[in-house]
Amino acid sequence: MNTGFAITTGSMFATIISVANINWHGMFFAIFALAACAMAVAVVLTDNVVRMAFYLVLSLGATAGLFFLAGAEFVGAMQLMIYVGGTLVLLVFGVMLTAQAPFVSMKTPQRDWVLASILAVCLLAVLVQASVGVDAWRTAAVSVGGGVQREAPEPSATPLGMALLGMRVDNDSSGIVTPSIRSGYLLPFEIVSIHLLVVLVGAAYLARAKRRRTPRAVETAGQSELKEEVRVAS
Amino acid sequence: MNFFNILAEPVGVSHYLLVGAVLFTAGVVCMVIKRNALGVLMGIELVLNGANINFIAFGSPVLRGESTVSIGLDGQAIALFVILLAAAEAAVALAITLNFYNNHATVDVDRAEDLKG
């Protein structure tokens, strides 16, 4: 029944209509890509910092969906856990700590918008030209001839985990030529772990509560001295 | 245009690169025009995500075409490191922003001119 419909209405429309031949990979890619791009543009266009944080959560979540579609499940899960679950919560905390009335929505001057849009158009033109310019990048590994027979990629968590431990166990089963010198990522892994520790200590040191230097500092300092006196007395 | 009909054509690396380009541009514009320091931070996150999409696309086994050059697992590993470093960067930048807010009672980056000569 699908073939007759396809002949009459054209192959493209039939691809959309017939459930058997629909390219689910492409459809989900379209959904996630549109969500990621639209939310990223919404982050730029809105002035409210709370809404910016919300749009950023949606954009990063859609990006995680794109990672899943590209066969990088482990990185997609890490994107959801670290980025959406950790970094964005941190940003939302920052928004809440500084969300006073004049800072929630700060307008950008009109001339800055003009300059920024010129910059955006130029940058986007260069990047788009670079990304569609190479023919080898435009064709996928598996063509959708009669039905989608995309072979399922191997789970990527095990090779990635072994690579982080310094051993490469990924084989080039798909005919991809890998470099002859294969090395793991043990040293970068250790460097990143030490870096995270240093960063945590540094952030806690930088963000610790201090006495203010603003004119209100006199009052708060007086109050804290009062509290200390009370604490000593009790 | 066969390239944009991704329901009929398989998704290639170029499609991912286009999404990455849009995210990168949005992030750069966000960094440039936002006056809130937290908005600048969000622009940085967008830029890093655009770069990450490119790494994942070039390292993906399902997106590669007939081209023989691939970065394989390196793409995913680099993307993982980028995510970790972005988390660290966000923590430090947020601490600096809070410090600035405590000292100046504002998060407007245009008011940060103590070092202006």
Contact list in A for residue B8 (CB cut-off 8 A) is 11-12, 15, 23, 26, 144
ipTM of the complex: 0.90
Put simply, the answer to whether B87 touches A72 (Cβ < 8 Å) is no
> Would you give the DSSP letter of residue B7?
T
Domain range summary for chain A, segments of one domain joined by +: 1-106, 184-234
At A177 the three-state DSSP class reads strand
Contact list in A for residue B63 (CB cut-off 8 A) is 70-71, 140-141
Residues with pLDDT less than 50, chain B = none
| pLDDT for the residue B72 | 73
CA gap A39, A45 in Å, rounded: 10
> Would you give the DSSP letter of residue A86?
I
Q: Which of A56, A31, A34, A33 minimizes the C-alpha distance to A43?
A: A56
Put simply, the answer to whether A12 touches B76 (Cβ < 8 Å) is no
* CB-closest option in A102, A116, A199 to B88: A199
Contact list in A for residue B76 (CB cut-off 8 A) is 72, 74-75, 156, 160
| pLDDT for the residue B75 | 86
Put simply, the answer to whether B42 touches A53 (Cβ < 8 Å) is yes
**pLDDT 10s digits, B10-39:** 788 888 999 999 999 999 999 999 988 999
What are phi and psi for residue A71, nearest 5 degrees?
A: 85, 15
| pLDDT for the residue B45 | 93
What are phi and psi for residue B36, nearest 5 degrees?
A: -75, 135
> Would you give the DSSP letter of residue A181?
S
| pLDDT for the residue A145 | 41
Contact list in A for residue B36 (CB cut-off 8 A) is 49, 103, 106
Task: Determine contact, residues B15/B1, Cβ cutoff 8 Å.
Answer: no
Which pLDDT tens digits describe chain A residue by residue (234 residues)?
Answer: 445 444 544 555 544 555 556 778 888 999 999 999 999 999 999 988 899 999 999 999 999 999 999 888 899 999 999 988 888 888 988 888 888 777 778 888 888 899 999 999 999 999 999 988 877 777 665 544 433 445 555 677 888 888 888 777 765 544 455 554 566 788 889 999 999 999 999 988 887 876 655 555 455 555 555 555 556 555
CA A75, A77, A82, A88 dihedral sign is: positive
Q: Give the torsion through C-alpha atoms of B28, B31, B33, B39, to 10 deg.
A: 130
What are phi and psi for residue A177, nearest 5 degrees?
A: -80, 115
| pLDDT for the residue A159 | 82
CA–chain centroid gap for B93, Å, is 15
> Would you give the DSSP letter of residue A170?
-
The token pair that represents B54 in the structure block: 């490119």
Assess if CATH 1.20.120.1200 describes domain A1-106: yes
Burial class (CB in 10 A: 0-12, 13-18, 19+), A226: exposed
Task: Determine contact, residues A25/B10, Cβ cutoff 8 Å.
Answer: yes
| pLDDT for the residue A106 | 80
* CB-closest option in A63, A79, A185 to B77: A185
| pLDDT for the residue A146 | 37
| pLDDT for the residue B66 | 52
| pLDDT for the residue A215 | 56
CA gap B96, B87 in Å, rounded: 14
* CB-closest option in B21, B68, B104 to A127: B21
Set out the domains of chain B in order of their start, with CATH numbers.
13-62+70-107 (1.10.287.3510)
Put simply, the answer to whether A176 touches B61 (Cβ < 8 Å) is yes
| pLDDT for the residue A228 | 57
pTM for the model stands at 0.79
Query: How big is the A-B interface in CB pairs under 8 Å?
Result: 308
Contact list in A for residue B62 (CB cut-off 8 A) is 70-71, 140-142, 150, 153
Smallest CA–CA distance from A51 into chain B, residue: B39
Distance from CA of A228 to the nearest CA of B (A): 21
